[in-house]
Amino acid sequence: MRNFMRRSVFFLPTLKENPAEAQIVSHRLMLRAGMIRQHAAGIYNWLPLGLRVLRKVERIVREEQDAAGAQEILMPTVQSAELWRESGRYEDYGKEMLRITDRHERDMLYGPTHEEVVTDIFRQNIKTYRDLPKMLYQIHWKFRDEVRPRFGVMRGREFLMKDNYSFDLDFAGARRSYNRMFVAYLRTFARLGLKAIPMRADAGPIGGDLSHEFIILAETGESGVFCHKGLLEMTVPSNVDYEGDLQLLVDEWTSLYAATDEKHDPGSAEVTEIADELVSARGIEIGHIFYFGTKYSKAMNAVVTGPGGEPVTVEMGSYGIGVSRLVGGIIEASHDDAGIIWPESVAPFKVGLINLKVGDATTDRMSEALYITLRKAGVEVLYDDRDERAGAKFADMDLIGLPWQLIVGPKGVARGVVELKNRATGQREEISVDAALSRLGA
């Protein structure tokens, strides 16, 4: 049996004190909980605990993308400047783009986004309307040379992002694709334990109403947001037929007022009418969906043959989720003074097993038995088998925020009970070993 889920083996460098470099709570907790270490400004190493969370977020995002009919691909991190010259963005993008020259003096860049590359893939391989619609996505690292990276992984220069690109024959199709992603986002964020609110966003020169930012409310949010309080009560349907008409569902979620401060107009009738129901808060943008029509397909000649044999420039949209940012965002939304409180869906382990008296034959035997039983049942468990004081183990376990703590102490074992603590509620109860195991799904 693999043993690395023993605390004595697992690489988990927790910190008792707050590193000076970290200002906001998620950044502090990620450093203290041994999830990440900074490599350079806005660039991070992910340690085992952090990587486990990142992978879980990624998996949920992937499952929901697949469910919505998108297909996963993987594009390069380093791109040729050629395509960007074609779209006109090589000059426009500015210093945020990390530009590289290879040994042959060719202009390359580390991709800040992938519209050009995906459009190139599309135009080379899809020639007929019969192959539409298509949604292609990837989960990959991007780099934007932000002037001022901050807030840990919430605003890094290198970040993991899910980016999806839709291709449709006409606007009606593009709207269907947009709606699919809209709903997929609602479901994704709900599964991550987040209350995400779609807010109308600036559609830029394209105009129209097909641009939404998905925002979670948090005191440390970067932007001010305003929304009807009814949005906070809305629930996400558990079953969605992506082949059906999603417009009603999208309408339901967009009928109530919600806007970031750049789009918010306090004097508008729309706002004054609902003054009593208006919530003003801070928010973190965790996703953005965007219809941009033929901006790239036109510039790059992404054309298919239509039903009547005519050439049709395809309609596109792009849909991003900040996967690494979400890890920080989830912590911002779910923590207390003692540390992180993971939603079970993304927790690095489900259970933290604490042996309160290492070296005591009975607690050792009981703890080992619980560890093995849980492992065999497929329950993710981190077993604190270190010879540390009880207080240190409790504090550490609270810090890393596993949903359940299973506490094995000599007094309890003598009476045939163990203690089960819920990290979120703080509630703890003494129950029999069998009851504890069944509660934990073993």
The site for RNA (CB under 7 A) is made up of 14-21, 23-24, 32, 38, 40-42, 95-96, 144, 146-151, 154-157, 159, 161, 213, 222-223, 285-288, 320-322, 324-325, 338, 356-357, 359, 388-392, 394-396, 398-399, 407, 409-412, 419, 421, 428
Answer yes or no: are the C-beta atoms of 228 and 172 closer than 8 Å. no
> 3-state SS string over 68-114?
CCCEECCCCCEEEHHHHHHHCHHHHCHHHCEEEECCCCCEEEECCCC
CB of 282 to RNA, least distance (A): 12
Give backbone dihedrals phi and psi of 48, rounded to 5 degrees, phi first.
Answer: -50, -45
d(CA 74, CA 306): 28
**CB 356 to RNA: min, Å:** 5
* CB nearer to RNA: pick between 15 and 248: 15
Nearer Cβ to RNA (308/391): 391
Q: How many residues does the chain have?
A: 442
Q: Looking at residue 389, what DSSP letter applies?
A: -
Quote the radius of gyration of the chain (alpha carbons, Å).
Answer: 25
Give whichever of 38 and 79 is closer to RNA, judged by the CB atom.
38
Residue closer to RNA, measured from CB, 132 or 400 = 400
Q: Are 96 and 148 in contact (CB under 8 A)?
A: no
Question: Cα–Cα distance between 125 and 139 in angstroms, integer?
Answer: 21
Question: Which residue lies nearer to RNA by CB, 308 or 359?
Answer: 359
How many other CB atoms are there within 10 angstroms of residue 356's CB atom? 21
What is the biggest distance separating any 2 CA atoms in the chain, rounded to whole angstroms? 82
**Residue 163 C-beta: closest distance to RNA, Å:** 8
Taking the complex as a whole, the smallest distance from the CB of residue 15 to RNA amounts, in Å, to 5
Closer CB to RNA, 416 or 441, in the complex: 416
Using the minimum distance from each CB to RNA, give the nearer residue, 129 or 404.
404
Please identify, using beta-carbon distances, which residue of 123 and 162 lies nearer to RNA: 162
Closest separation between CB of residue 381 and RNA, Å? 18
DSSP 67: H
Query: Residue 404 burial by CB count (10 A; 0-12/13-18/19+): exposed, middle or buried?
Result: buried
Minimum gap (Å) between residue 273 Cβ and RNA: 28
- Which pairs with CB-CB distance under 8 Å and at least 24 residues apart come from 67-71? 67/184, 67/187, 67/240, 67/242, 68/135, 68/180, 68/181, 68/183, 68/184, 68/242, 69/135, 69/180, 69/242, 70/135, 70/136, 70/137, 70/164, 70/184, 71/134, 71/135, 71/136, 71/137
> Of the two residues 123 and 187, which places its CB atom closer to RNA in the complex?
187
CA angle 339, 341, 345 (to 5 degrees): 150
Minimum distance, C-beta of residue 88 to RNA, in the bound complex (Å):
17
Q: Smallest distance, Å, CB 257 to RNA?
A: 20
Using CA atoms, how far residue 237 sits from 176, 190, 197, in Å, is: 18, 10, 15
Minimum gap (Å) between residue 239 Cβ and RNA: 27
